[in-house]
């Protein structure tokens, strides 16, 4: 008897995962040499919990430190990180830590990382206070704060009232995303989606205080077993607490620190299941055995979707069964390594009757070639550290993305496999804080400036010119602000005056946190005449893209001019966050 293997992968905003059908653990990629680089320092601290006024040590947490260079935008290389366990008095120590901006994250069952600021509202970032470590120095008295997490537990019932066994429970919360407010999966402390047991009971733990939504759904959509069929008709719909199929009618559940919110009952709704089947149109020369078909439900209010993938049958057909009514995205792609050469997608509406005859027409991706030049038009040599990447305009994780490639020594490049629009970027993927001294300033398609517009794939090959400045600008200085207990330190935001360049993929927008001593440094910015600079409290990088925030900051900002190769020194006074 042959069994069906279906890989179910949850794609969240920050993951660019290629569905992997191979078993076996893959070793983490090799890190850059961590043998004590010059200026390796020591960091000591304590993990604490409780009141800001009276913190108590917390034993046994696992602490991770990550070091970001204070300089240019991050590329592909792994930032330094190390992990250790705090002892019985909550103390921990790291040795051999390179210089840079430190961030800490701690993990302990039943607790979550308390971010900057108070506990009001749900934490979006796990960013901790960020001290700067000078080369070879010792930093003591770091305090990593954790708070007691909450638990949601309850039961899920079938329409008949019986316990719903092995249903997938997802805990979701509202979040600001570049696309607006969306429901996203709650933090990883809860260990991801959980399943109900034989009594229909579920338990979601590790939740920071806040409001959450619960969804219950059947375990998996079934990808057709070879030569087989699934005739199941009566099923259950994806149901939100307390018992609605509509996200808009879902009721939030409040979670308080250290408390268990229990006794919840989710009554699942009946739904008529059906199937979707069709064929994949395969270009000549492609072996169907290398192709996969994936399906994912489109729920507009949610971000991050589950995707089921399965190999295409030898006769190029595919079948997906046990689908609840809704809108779905079907994709087909080849699986030759991490880069997809061919891709197809279709949207289908499942209404409860079997759908047949879907054709997924595999198309090859577009290749992008070109060269890198300086602002004066001279060719610029490439290097393995000069890497080209596409940042996606829409967060559509089902479409494969081209892998970053390095620019060749002669300044030319070629990247394959562009299927969807994205902003083309060059970044420095080399080791931290080196003196490479260039920064990406623009991209051109023919004579059209595409620095701030995504490149739409068209045809087989497209020619693009990338411009770098070999004399970027630096901005440094100090910020004056009144520290308040529990409040995070302000951040400095530099952004262009031109509103057309206000978008998450803009190269003109930079945010850095302010050090304990009030100092900040931004390195290698694109030179330009019309920038604005402001220091602001309580605003994170993600908040900048909420409508109106940058406009509000504009009025409080200082005009700034960045000449090529200049180092501008500013003294700023932090302003309060803009009113919502």
Binding site for other proteins (CB under 8 A): 1-2, 22-27, 30-31, 34-35, 43, 60, 62-65, 80-85, 92-97, 107, 109-110, 149, 151, 158, 160, 162-163, 165-166, 188-189, 191, 194, 197-199, 203, 205-206, 222, 225-236, 314-315, 321
Residue whose pair of structure tokens reads 């701030």 in the numeric block: 452
Q: What are 146's two structure tokens?
A: 């954790």
The least distance separating other proteins from the CB of residue 352, rounded to whole angstroms, comes to 15
> Shortest CA distance to 311 belongs to which of 334, 328, 330?
334
Biggest CA pair distance of the chain: 74
The least distance separating other proteins from the CB of residue 351, rounded to whole angstroms, comes to 19
Nearer Cβ to other proteins, position 63 or 372? 63
Cα torsion 178, 182, 183, 187 to 10°: value is 20
Phi then psi dihedrals of residue 550, to 5 deg: -65, -35
The least distance separating other proteins from the CB of residue 42, rounded to whole angstroms, comes to 9
Cα dist from 252 to 175, 210, 261, 299, 495, whole Å: 14, 9, 12, 18, 37
The least distance separating other proteins from the CB of residue 229, rounded to whole angstroms, comes to 5
| Gap between the Cα atoms of 415 and 396, Å rounded | 20
The least distance separating other proteins from the CB of residue 170, rounded to whole angstroms, comes to 16
Instruction: Provide the residue count of the chain.
Output: 580
The least distance separating other proteins from the CB of residue 219, rounded to whole angstroms, comes to 9
| Gap between the Cα atoms of 134 and 496, Å rounded | 31
Cα dist from 40 to 36, 37, 67, 69, 462, whole Å: 6, 6, 12, 13, 45
Nearer Cβ to other proteins, position 295 or 539? 295
The least distance separating other proteins from the CB of residue 258, rounded to whole angstroms, comes to 12
| Gap between the Cα atoms of 441 and 374, Å rounded | 9
Q: In what order do the strands lie in the sheet with 491-496?
A: 510-513, 491-496, 528-536, 558-562
The least distance separating other proteins from the CB of residue 7, rounded to whole angstroms, comes to 14
> Shortest CA distance to 290 belongs to which of 330, 335, 332, 331?
335
**Kind and range of the H or E run holding 550:** helix 549-556
Phi then psi dihedrals of residue 234, to 5 deg: -95, 120
The least distance separating other proteins from the CB of residue 157, rounded to whole angstroms, comes to 12
The least distance separating other proteins from the CB of residue 294, rounded to whole angstroms, comes to 18
Nearer Cβ to other proteins, position 226 or 504? 226
> Shortest CA distance to 465 belongs to which of 402, 365, 380?
380
Nearer Cβ to other proteins, position 231 or 447? 231
Query: How buried is residue 351: exposed, middle or buried, by Cβ count under 10 Å (0-12/13-18/19+)?
Result: exposed
Nearer Cβ to other proteins, position 77 or 205? 205
| Gap between the Cα atoms of 450 and 465, Å rounded | 10
The least distance separating other proteins from the CB of residue 478, rounded to whole angstroms, comes to 31
Nearer Cβ to other proteins, position 274 or 420? 274
Nearer Cβ to other proteins, position 29 or 485? 29
Nearer Cβ to other proteins, position 171 or 250? 171
What long-range pairs does 440-446 form, CB within 8 A, spacing at least 24?
A: 440/466, 440/467, 440/468, 440/507, 440/526, 441/375, 441/467, 441/468, 441/469, 441/507, 441/526, 441/527, 442/466, 442/467, 442/526, 443/467
Nearer Cβ to other proteins, position 34 or 406? 34
């Amino acid at each position: 008897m042959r069994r069906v293997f279906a890989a179910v992968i949850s794609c969240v905003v920050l993951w660019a995962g290629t569905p992997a059908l191979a078993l076996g653990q893959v070793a983490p990629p090799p890190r850059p040499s961590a043998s004590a680089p010059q200026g390796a320092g020591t960091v000591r601290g304590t993990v604490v919990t409780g009141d800001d006024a009276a913190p108590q040590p917390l034993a046994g947490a696992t602490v991770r430190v990550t070091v970001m260079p204070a300089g240019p935008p991050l590329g592909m290389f792994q930032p330094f990180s190390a992990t250790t366990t705090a002892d019985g008095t909550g103390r921990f120590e790291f040795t051999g830590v390179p210089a840079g901006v430190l961030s800490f994250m701690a993990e302990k069952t039943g607790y979550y990382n308390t971010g900057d600021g108070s506990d009001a509202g749900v934490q979006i970032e796990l960013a901790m206070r960020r001290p700067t470590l000078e080369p070879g120095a010792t930093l003591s008295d770091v305090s990593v704060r954790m708070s007691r997490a909450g638990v949601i537990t309850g039961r899920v019932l079938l329409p008949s009232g019986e316990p719903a066994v092995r249903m997938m429970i997802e805990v979701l919360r509202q979040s600001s995303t570049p696309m607006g407010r969306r429901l996203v999966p709650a933090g990883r402390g809860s260990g991801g989606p959980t399943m109900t047991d034989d009594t229909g009971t579920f338990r979601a733990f590790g939740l920071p205080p806040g409001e959450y939504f619960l969804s219950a759904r059947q375990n998996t959509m079934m990808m057709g077993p070879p030569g087989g069929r699934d005739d199941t008709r009566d099923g259950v719909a994806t149901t939100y607490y307390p018992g609605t199929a509509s996200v808009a009618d879902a009721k939030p559940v409040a979670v308080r620190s250290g408390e268990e919110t229990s006794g919840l009952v989710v009554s699942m709704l009946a739904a008529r299941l059906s199937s979707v089947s069709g064929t994949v149109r395969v270009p000549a020369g492609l072996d169907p055995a290398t192709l996969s078909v994936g399906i994912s439900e489109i729920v507009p209010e949610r971000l991050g979707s589950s995707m089921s993938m399965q190999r295409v049958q030898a006769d190029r057909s595919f079948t997906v069964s046990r689908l609840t009514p809704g809108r779905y995205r079907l994709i087909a792609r080849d699986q030759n390594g991490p880069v997809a050469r061919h891709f197809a997608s279709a949207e289908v509406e499942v209404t409860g009757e079997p759908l047949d005859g879907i054709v997924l027409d595999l198309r090859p991706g577009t290749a992008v070639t070109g060269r890198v030049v300086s602002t004066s038009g001279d060719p610029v040599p490439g290097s393995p550290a000069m890497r080209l990447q596409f940042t996606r305009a829409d967060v559509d994780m089902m479409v494969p993305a081209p892998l970053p490639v390095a620019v060749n020594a002669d300044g030319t490049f070629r990247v394959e496999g562009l299927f969807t629009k994205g902003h083309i970027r060059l970044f420095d993927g080399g080791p931290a804080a080196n003196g490479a001294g260039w920064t990406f300033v623009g991209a051109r398609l023919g004579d059209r400036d595409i620095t701030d517009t995504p490149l739409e794939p068209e045809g087989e090959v497209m020619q693009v010119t990338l411009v770098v400045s070999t004399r970027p600008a630096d901005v440094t200085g100090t910020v004056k602000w009144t520290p308040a207990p529990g409040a995070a330190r302000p951040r400095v935001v530099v952004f262009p005056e031109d509103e057309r360049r206000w978008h998450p993929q803009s190269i003109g927008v930079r945010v850095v946190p302010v050090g304990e001593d009030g100092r900040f440094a931004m390195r290698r910015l694109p030179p330009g005449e019309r920038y604005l600079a402001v220091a602001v409290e309580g605003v994170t990088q993600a908040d900048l893209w909420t409508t109106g925030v940058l406009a509000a900051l504009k009025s409080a900002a200082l005009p700034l001019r960045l000449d090529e190769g200049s180092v501008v020194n500013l003294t700023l006074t932090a302003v309060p966050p803009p009113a919502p």
